[in-house]
Amino acid sequence: MTRIVYFLMVIMTGLTLTDCNVRNNASGNHSQEPPDEPVEIIPDIMVPQLPGQLNESSGLILFRELLWTINDSGGDAALYGFDRNTGEVKQVVRIENGENDDWESLTSSQQQIFIGDFGNNWGNRKNLRIYVIDKSDIPAVGDVTLTAERIDFSYSDQVNFTFGMNNNSHDCEAFIWFRDSLFLFTKDWVTRNTKVYTLPAKPGIYMAEPVDSFAVECLITGADISRNMEKLVLLGYADYVPYIWYFDGIDKGKLLGGRNIKFSMIEYFGTQTEGIAFSGNDTLFISSEQSKLPSRIYRYVLPGNGF
């Protein structure tokens, strides 16, 4: 117990002295001075423990009143729709032509769901891909097996494919659909910042092009955009503390423009948060995979003024 208390004190001291709170993006377009420290929040625990088949939950979207998730590396090539209040799995969508090398994220447009198979902990993958299925092919009830279309891509600026665990800048576990394009947010093990890449949101073979970056000072594991397309959230963690970056007022299509704030979930120290999804424009659902703590679902309602 003494060692745990000491470790928590060290972490808290580090957060106070060095952590990044609210920063300007690379082009310095933010309109508001940042607070000195992350704002601590305590999201509600909605589902204390997800069922065993969702222990590796990674990625989260809301569709037809169910939360949908996937399991990451080595899991089945399937999406699971479950009750947001109980965690009970209600529906399974299997991808007949899919292979789960390292599924990490989900996002959706009005018509389609996108499954990101682009986890790249070792930095050497050359088979990055995104599966695409139509929402209209998913029945209202019952399981189904679908054939997905595919987006294959590589990063235009990646020249180093050296094999090395958690020591590269081209890992990715988060993306969103926005204005007919996909935007990927890297999980940068080297700098703990994130770089934003864009791809066309349609099947094909592409080069992902960098369009922005942001000093998050944590490892990004999830992202979502509000239904009115005006708010963006990034989910991540650093030193066993979960964080949420919140961007309010996306400025003229610039995702990392406008005001921003960093929320700390230090109350849930040790939780490995993996997925985040808007319900409407203000309510967030957050998923975690099983680690020292069970796989859970949390809910947090953003403040009325965002700050």
Per-residue pLDDT tens listing for the chain (307 residues): 433 333 333 333 333 333 334 343 433 333 344 456 899 999 999 999 999 999 999 999 999 999 999 998 878 999 999 999 999 999 999 999 999 999 999 999 999 999 999 999 999 999 999 999 999 999 999 999 999 999 999 999 999 999 888 889 999 999 999 999 999 999 999 999 999 999 999 999 999 999 999 999 999 999 999 999 999 999 999 999 999 999 987 765 678 877 899 999 999 999 999 999 999 999 999 999 998 899 999 999 998 765 6
Give the H/E segment covering residue 63. strand 57-63
Enumerate the β-bridge partners of residue 224.
Answer: 233
C-alpha 167/C-alpha 33 separation (Å) is 33
pLDDT tens column, 55-79: 999 999 999 999 999 998 878 999 9
Q: Is the pTM of this model over 0.85?
A: yes
CA distance 276 to 62: 10
Helices (H), the chain: 2-18
Of the candidates 68, 12, 79, 95, which has an alpha carbon nearest to the alpha carbon of residue 297?
68
CB atoms within 10 A of CB 252: 7
Complete domains list, the chain, with CATH: 2-301 (2.120.10)
Strand boundaries in 228-294, DSSP class E: 231-238, 241-248, 259-264, 272-279, 283-289
Q: What is the pLDDT of residue 26?
A: 37
Alpha-carbon distance 158 to 210, whole Å?
A: 11
